[in-house]
Structure 1
Amino acid sequence: MTGRLVLKNVRMLEGNAADIILENGTIKEIALPGTATGDEIIDYEDKVVVSSGWIDMHVHAFPEFDPYGDDVDEIGYKTGVTTIIDAGSTGADRISDLVSSCENSKTNVFAFLNISRIGLKRIDELSDISWLDEAELRKAISEHGDFIVGLKARISKSVVGPNGVEPLKIARKFSADTGLPLMVHIGSGPPDIREVLDLLEKQDIITHYLNGKANNLFDENGEPLPEFSKAIERGVHLDVGHGTASFSFPTAETAKKKGIRFNTISTDIYRRNRVNGPVFSMASVLTKFLYLGYPLKEVIDAVTVNAAAWLHKPELGRIAVGDIANLTLFSIEDESTLLLDSEGEKRMADKRVVVKGVVINGEFIEC
């Protein structure tokens, strides 16, 4: 973007209005509302909120893999998300192909490297221990260290087969040897969720923490498991990872009642659940958390400040003069909206999040 673009009369998350001036792709100035001049002015008339660009910590963006694949920009900037993190679609065998497939995309992309060299070529990628090849994993990290932000281990019955918790023990060693934290998918057992929790450390991520499966993080009385509480105390990071089968309204309501708050909200989006639901988009997922009664700032912080902090990229989670502009513009519309979780539960919300536009690496795009 060249010239001087003014996003006029936008509402900041803190509640104040402002004019944001962009010049040559960077944030030049944050001015009092209605005062800025420029070559192009878009007046939002105090009806649109601006935040730093949304970050989705869990997507599947390798288009070749079915069903867990999609095109980067379809789940990225076109849905208001300026940065996505592919959550283990590829292992060492195909990570180079994932990198290549992202080269012409506008959306910023990083990835968790699947600890299985085959990645999601098969959905039982941890059923054969020989696919957990540390030499190949290290080679992939050495070649794509700027792209890889962590390691992904999907620890549920359909993935690990007869191996139980053993793949996670191997992943723990890989993490120690490489210095990269783990994102751990949880789901149906075996292994028992308590075995999984005991192996997680500070900065590791539990994704799908609000799933409604029998092997979840709460006991039959709705109390958080002791091992879950201890993991939170150790600094384990809680990520939503909505997905096709991993978000339950009853579980989310229990977690909120017990004070178990998310660190990040992510979609686990790919082509099928984007088109057919129940995910659809980041805006749809964020609408569910507004419905649950979380304040707007807490919800948006989960896809900006908190995600950027975990990535050690604070510039992606702020609006600051001098930074390359990555922004999401959205409104909160007063309209009835039917919401679906991953188990067929329905809720009716009276407000919904609607994306109006993004600025991605300095380029403004209306959505």
Structure 2
Amino acid sequence: MREHNHTQEATLVLSNVRMTDGRRADIVLDGEHIAELAPPGQGQAERKLDCTGLYVSSGWIDMHVHAFPEFDPYGDEIDEIGIRQGVTTIVDAGSCGADRIGELAASARSARTNLLAFLNISRIGLSRIDELSRLEWIDAERAAEAVRAHPDLIVGLKARISGSVVKENGIQPLRMARSLSGALSLPLMVHIGSGPPDITEVIPLLEKNDVLTHYLNGKHNNLFDAAGNPLPVLTEAISRGVHLDVGHGTASFSFRVAEAARRHGIAPDTISSDIYRGNRLNGPVYSLANVMSKFLHLGYSLQEIVDAVTVRAADWLNRPELGRIRPGESANLTLFAVEDGPVPLTDSEGAVLTASHSIHPKGVVIHGQYAACEIRP
């Protein structure tokens, strides 16, 4: 561990925390930065928080949320699905198009949670749930203006390509999204679901660094055949460097499909919740931690799971500092416990599995402040 000497007394020490690789340390914070990683019990600061029994990681990142509270059903408050759930950075997955992205940006300024966003290619966003049913709503000029106005917020473009969204337009909205992606030099996040269009039409249009979200959904139009084998379009997409994102949601995560993916070594690049008010309060999502617990039960290691909400998400966002715990870096941390005891976990198809261990966030450090988590069932 690196040690730093400071003439000024540090403000907070997180004492005896455990890293996911098994190391223990005292994390000494000096304002908004990590001052030192000290041996357990040796960190010095004005205040000490005893973290015995807790893990620490860089702050969790949820790559797929809906954080524009004015929209119903797909909306929620930023901090409600952010720091109160142990998540220090959320990425809104296309709630807003060009019409209202400015309002989302304004709401981020009053929140404590870090917010980034995918811009919906439909200018109306999720003000209605068939936002790609009229091609004139895909306004390239308005989208370009939005990207120019909010370069620090917008990380990519979002296209929801399922039958209920595109209606009679089939694959054409995705072709238009692909063109817009090239013009704006931004990757796509593509939602998959019930057809048409058929999944074999959708996946070949995704390129390296595009995000395929809901890849473990159990709908008829999914990425695995009846025997649980991955379709060729999925394995080809992985070979191209397409990024696999969970995006659990109300209807987009199946234990059956996730177990098939696990058998074939098709692990998620990022674990995300697709959380909004309804599935936070009523399930089956509840929280990012609940989704992470499902992967723990599926047999993924704690290190793999935490990396999927920290390091790998931060790298995709081109913000690697969000995934690191190092002296000199900003203090962006999540404290959590792995607790024993039977916990029922429900997927989007109503299947219930009983887990013997589950992940529970206990607190975050963000912008120089510690905050306890407040998951509200």
Output the TM-score relative to the length of structure 2. 0.96
Query: Is 1:130 aligned to 2:136, yes or no?
Result: yes
Query: Is 1:37 aligned to 2:44, yes or no?
Result: yes
Query: Is 1:17 aligned to 2:61, yes or no?
Result: no
Match of 1:262 among 260, 268, 277: 268
- SS across alignment from 1:197: helix
Deviations 1:166-213 (CA, angstroms, capped at 9, x unpaired): 000000000000000000000000000011011000000000000000
Deviations 1:250-304 (CA, angstroms, capped at 9, x unpaired): 0000000011110000000000100000000011111000000000000000000
- SS across alignment from 1:98: helix
- Which residue number corresponds to residue 169 of structure 2? 163
Deviations 1:203-245 (CA, angstroms, capped at 9, x unpaired): 0000000000000001122111111110100000000000000
Distance 1:362 1:182 in 2: 33
Seq. identity, %: 61
Shift of 1:3: 4.7
Please tell me the residue identity of whatever aligns with 2:143: L
Match of 2:296 among 272, 290, 298: 290
Please tell me the residue identity of whatever aligns with 1:201: E
Distance 1:3 1:290 in 2: 36
Query: Is 1:279 aligned to 2:285, yes or no?
Result: yes
- After TM superposition, the structure 1 = structure 2 runs for residues 194-343 of structure 1, keeping only pairs within 5 Å, are 194-343=200-349
CA RMSD of aligned residues (A): 0.8
Match of 1:76 among 56, 79, 82: 82
Stretches of 4+ aligned residues off by more than 3 angstroms: none
5+ residue gaps, structure 1, are: none
Match of 1:27 among 31, 34, 40: 34
Distance 1:3 1:332 in 2: 29
Distance 2:146 2:170 in 1: 26
- SS across alignment from 1:286: helix
- SS across alignment from 1:159: helix
- Which residue number corresponds to residue 85 of structure 1? 91
Distance 1:4 1:122 in 2: 47
Deviations 1:317-362 (CA, angstroms, capped at 9, x unpaired): 0101111101000010011100000010000001111111100122
Indicate conservation of the 8 Å contact 2:64/2:273, yes or no. Answer: yes
Please tell me the residue identity of whatever aligns with 1:353: I
Distance 1:366 1:88 in 2: 29
Distance 1:253 1:221 in 2: 12
Shift of 1:38: 1.3
Indicate conservation of the 8 Å contact 2:10/2:44, yes or no. Answer: no
- SS across alignment from 2:313: helix
Moved more, 308-317 or 94-103: 94-103
- Which residue number corresponds to residue 350 of structure 1? 356
Query: Is 1:153 aligned to 2:159, yes or no?
Result: yes
Deviations 1:96-129 (CA, angstroms, capped at 9, x unpaired): 0111122110000000000000000110000000
Distance 2:107 2:193 in 1: 29
Distance 2:115 2:55 in 1: 24
Moved more, 283-292 or 2-11: 2-11
Indicate conservation of the 8 Å contact 2:336/2:362, yes or no. Answer: yes
- Which residue number corresponds to residue 190 of structure 1? 196
- Aligned residue pairs, count: 365
- Which residue number corresponds to residue 54 of structure 1? 60
Query: Is 1:117 aligned to 2:118, yes or no?
Result: no
- SS across alignment from 1:93: coil
Distance 1:282 1:325 in 2: 21
Please tell me the residue identity of whatever aligns with 1:26: H
Distance 2:362 2:233 in 1: 42
Match of 1:175 among 169, 178, 181: 181
Distance 1:34 1:200 in 2: 50
Distance 1:205 1:235 in 2: 10
Distance 2:264 2:216 in 1: 13
Please tell me the residue identity of whatever aligns with 2:182: A
Distance 2:320 2:10 in 1: 26
Distance 2:167 2:133 in 1: 5
5+ residue gaps, structure 2, are: 1-8
- Which residue number corresponds to residue 145 of structure 2? 139
- SS across alignment from 1:307: helix
Please tell me the residue identity of whatever aligns with 1:66: D
Distance 2:359 2:312 in 1: 19
Distance 1:362 1:305 in 2: 21
Deviations 1:152-175 (CA, angstroms, capped at 9, x unpaired): 000000000000010000000000
Distance 2:228 2:189 in 1: 25
